[in-house]
Structure 1
Amino acid sequence: MQFLVDPVWPWPRVAAATVVLLALVLWTYPQRVRHLPTGWRRLLIGLRVAAVLALVFAMLRPAIRFDEIDRQAAQLMVLLDSSRSMTTPDGPGGLTRRQTILKTLEDEEERLDELGEDVDIRFVDFAEEMIPTDEPAEDAEGEYTAIGDVVDDLRREDTGKRVVGVVLMSDGAQRAPAEDAADPRLAARRYAEERGIPIHTVVYGTSELASAGLDLAVEDVLIRGGSSIFEKKTVPIEAQVRLLGAAGRKVRVRLLLEDRSGKGAGQSGELKPIPLAPDTQPFTEIETRENAVTVPVDLSFVATTPGEYKLAVEVVPDEGELKLSNNRIETLITVRKGGLRVAYFETPRTEQKFLRRLNETAEIQLDTQVVLPGPFLDRTRIEPRFFEPGAYDVYIIGDVPARVFVQDGINLLDRLSERLSEGAGLLMLGGQDNFAAGGYASTRIAQWLPVDLEAPAESPQIKRPLKMIPTREGLQHYVMQVAGNNEQVWRELPEFSGATRLKPRSEFIDVLARTEDDVPLLMAADTGRARTAAFAADETYRWHLHGYEDVHQRFWQQLLLWLAHKEFDTDSQVWVQAEPRRVGPRSPVSFTFGARDEEGNDLPDATFEVDVVRPDGETVSVTPQRSGVEHFAEFRDTNLPGDYWVSVKATHEGEVLGMPALARFIVDDRDPEMDNPAADPDLMSEIAAITGTTPLTPEQFGDLLQNLIDAGVSTEITRSTQIKLWDGWPFLLVFVGLMSAEWFVRKTRGLV
């Protein structure tokens, strides 16, 4: 037994408080009771002093501690990886990893027995969960490795015994497919913080498997800009290709696109190679001299038709390759209407550099044909393919004279005129060698341009600062709506240093912007099926340089969309999105969906029915959920590889809204555990470091056992019980009794 004191304040302050309280009582209280007889006076003062001493007693917070020694069995946990990757035969003498673990235990059997005299050694097989075992077997049939989940289960487990350590024998590769599987590092950190028990990691296997034979695999696919793309825009794709045992071989990597000809909703089409087209790279060949290497591959293609398609990156199987399921990764893309291709003919001007940034948007593909200036002008070769039917939606002509478009006796501007009659758009920018000065008055496109191409009587160039101000009509036009405070923003934009002198062809031409002194800068017209515009300036890059990047991008996007008749494209009334669109087996997929009325307004109170059609044809109903104005659902029945189709029907106020929305997601035909069974010694090192140990080789396992034997494992536990004398009903009863007794005496003597 031990008496303890834990003052509420430091000792000097407690002593000072005690002196002050006693002084107040002894100085003031006797004067109030001096008329009483001596016995009653002493009794009241004594009761008051006793109450003060009780308060001081509480300030000291005294306690009595009782210590007793208890004995509790100690336990050493040995976790043995039994997942299928442990069947990889990369151990000494061709042993599998699981066989190597058993050999390690067999070699250290004597030390295990010696340690087992004082410590309960518990063997546990694990893959996706823990399975206690008395006799570890050679079988390794666990579906996948979930080290994080196993460590979390270990943290929550209460065996009733004191765990002195954990030994993790594994290849260290976390392969749990579900997105919500616990991260091994975070699980190890939680285990160390809550339990304070070290995890000794013993690594089996190698991270290099080149000796396993030829294996070509696509490991990752990234669609730059996202999986929602626009028609007629080049789609760049990055892939990671892993080559094992392929030294000296040429390997072909290609893109495959789903052919949906004759396929209806809910039906999958055949994947076919994408043919080569201008400015695309749908296939490539790679070669390496290394036996084990991961190579980045860049591919691209142009999506031509709106809709949802399956896209695959494939390493073409090579002779002698046994495992083919990892040669391809499939994903889904949505090709949307509204995307447009723009052909831009320009000399090397600053404006060109900033207009090219439109390619950073998902919606616009701007292909630039650089025209060499000066003496090299006539050497420029413009390909006729630019003017083939349907090749481009909009054409931009910069500071380029008309004669550049005459190639091999063919005037390509005649073909451009044909494209305009079919509905293409045309924009001509200000410059020294275009409009009238560039000889366009005698070409067939003169009839399409909204400006008078007769040579002006004055100088064709205005060389003074000019501020672009929208006209009254321009402020209402789609092209000029660049911000919420639209008119103010236009007045804040920096001035141009000059412009080309232009005038509208007729009074029916829309002048969208002028200078402050009424010089026309931007003119637009609907002529037949075509839309055309003339922009007298070529220095909108100044907006970008002065901090108006968003205005610059929005203006140009809207101008090009308007020229292509795509400013009012809308989607269907019911929509659904699946995320992610490509998952591994048993991984969850989330759906978001919604509905809108015919005017495009959201309908948050719509009612939805959600169904998923599995690859085997079974239809599974999913319960829709709502959070605020958002509607969502989650689907977890993804054990079968293949295409899953999501159907969403919507009703509002008893009426069916449009057609059901469809989306698709893919469950990879992959085996996460065996596609790449390489060991991960780095993860094992991190787990060891987080819990305060270092990773071990199988040969060092015996040293760990010997250290535990030499150090001895204590089974004695000291349990302490502390009784607080100040915090309980006895003390409260004493204090209340003293105060009540004093009050009773004062009452009986007429002092209250």
Structure 2
Amino acid sequence: MSWGLEPIYGSLPIALALVAIIVAMMFVILPPGVSGRRRQVLLTLRGLASIALVLVLLRPSLVQSDNRPAAATLAIALDTSASMELSSGEAMNRWQQQKRSAQKLISGLSGSDQALQVVVMGFDEAAQSIHESGTEQLATIADRIGEQEHTGRATDLAAPLTLAMDRGRTSPLAGVVMFSDGTQIANSREASADVPADPQREARLLGAMGVPVWTVPLGPPDEASRRIDLSVESLPETLRMFTGNESLVAFQVRSRGVVQSPVKVSLRWLDENGQTATAATRTITPDKMDQVTSLEIPIVAPKPGQYRLIAEVETRTEETITDNNSQVAFVDVREGGGRVLYLEGTPRLEQKDLRWALGQFLDLELTYRWIPRDTVNSWPIDLVDDFSPGRYDVIILGDLHSAALGDEQLQQLSEAVGQGTALIMLGGEHTYSRGGYANTPLANVLPVQLDDRLRQPPGPLDPVEATVSDAMRSPVTMQPATSHPITSIQVMQRDRLVRWEDLPAMPGVNPWPSVRVAPGVQVLLQSPQQQPLMVIGEYGRGRVAALAFDSTWTWRRAGLGDFHRRFWRQLILWSLAREEDASLSLQLQLSPRRFVGTEQPSFTATDRSDAESNGSNRQLVAEVILESGETIPVPIGGAENSGRQAERIWSGKLPELPPGFHRLKVRSDGADAESLEPAEVAFQVLDDTRELTTSQTDHSLLRQLADATSGVGGRVYQPEDVDALVETIRSRRTESVRTVIEKFRLGDGPLSGWLIFLLFAGALSVEWALRRQWGLA
């Protein structure tokens, strides 16, 4: 604390001079004839007014500093899942144990720190705030904790940590207190997410922010070595495959309490008739008590049809929960065959090896046409029949100049692609921009942009142009830009997996100005410098692939014939998908297809009718066929035009259903009910009661969360040690202080300002009144 003066104008000499002048004037200038007691009274009143003016001119101030705790937020997370109804190992359940400990914590913090804001949140499969206040109002929280429901069907320990971090963006966090039994049971939708819930990752992030996590384990202690649990997680809900195509199936196996013991994992097909067949088997050997093993298993798709793919891990006799030992994916396997037309202008090595690769598959009918450059005088050649819609399923354009086809036939080809024919375009000296395709109808079909300034005439390149094209002949290595069925290839060479980086470099590629920005356009292959080398897209109902290279023959010559054959096979099969097959007048979509019974997912039915049908007046009905055979009607309505001709979209929502494998069926209820094929989608309703059946606790996970922040004070406190936790929080708050400087200057506040004013005005007013009364004014 210190006193000081802050004179007006910032100058003490000036202020003192003014004081001297004012005092002199008040004490020297007096009315004539004043003496004795009257003179003393007037001088006293003028002295009081002078004191007020001196205070105003000198402005005395008091400055004091104080160390106070910095403003911060303490997050208290309470477990509100159904497992809180289970025994705590004492004469109470876990909820009562948590309530007693939380109230003890809140009582210890009540009124302790005015700068501390307390946020109480509840969490199960999600986290939400229950109460927020300063420590002075904490007494009101105790009753609200007792009224809180605890019926959550899953537990996600990452949810409260994430919510606390979100709060930390607006206010510093003093710490996070988490009450829980530690059982991390993510619900079905999270299990299939791209990034599964990971509470340890969130705890590490809090530790990096300098925020401690204090965990309070509830329930009886759990010995991890006595707990056995094997489960399958993260299997996609739906898969689409093509007959004969090899696809990677990715999922995770979680093992608890199994160390250095082989565990068998299998994939099984289940067809519509209930027949099963083994797709693949693997054996894993966990080396930790709690371990997640990621698997990617290649399988070959069976004949076309609707299947369930069951990922299953063996069941141990010590397991108490076995319904998580498997997960099911719904698989749509489509026909892989088709008719392919390959047009080539230069008899390169590429065409020879490409024909060899496609010729290995009996379900593909390949037609090869070579259009020599020395026939340029007779261009465009007649391919009207070949380009008619439905004549070929896939058309491959090799190193062929646009003049060989002509604008009229290219327009016909564009229309055929729009109606479902697939198009694959290869690189070369006379293709894309150099082949003059930039100003043709095909330019709008391709998923890449072209530049007509690079157009070259048909025929051999002259020496000048050959020099310009040298940039196309620089070796380029390829790498996947994104995961896709075309580029997901599993081939073993000398007991090791062949990667894209292992392939020989392309001798040259066709550069594109840019990739077209449109729905469905994807870059699948690129150079290390992110130059696009393979781009796919859609045009109308057809699929289009643009390849900047034309030398996949180097793969086969390098002894990688299996990789070369698989690439072309999967590219052709992708081209033959026909997702918008006109023969399917009803298409049904349901997402998710694996959910718990309390969820009610929505579905849509797309009604596609030809122009001559009476589809606009069609009425659809929906029903769920239970696993038992019972049929439940489902409301469906809200038909809306999709924007396409003769296409309407209906929507509905599933009711609550019992656990099991059921089917959703949509059909016509009109006169065309027999001619219109119904649409069906299979789905699974999960019995997610593991919160009540998993009686074991997982205190080791809570310990790991606290240990992740041990560097900043995180640790585990038993319920009976809550008093020690209160002392820890109080101690950390005293260490986290900030210096507060307060200054009180006379006249700044309304009280001192009015006092000075009343002193000055009152003294002069009384002095004037007395002079009037005494006849001295």
TM-score scaled by structure 2? Answer: 0.44
TM-score scaled by structure 1? Answer: 0.45
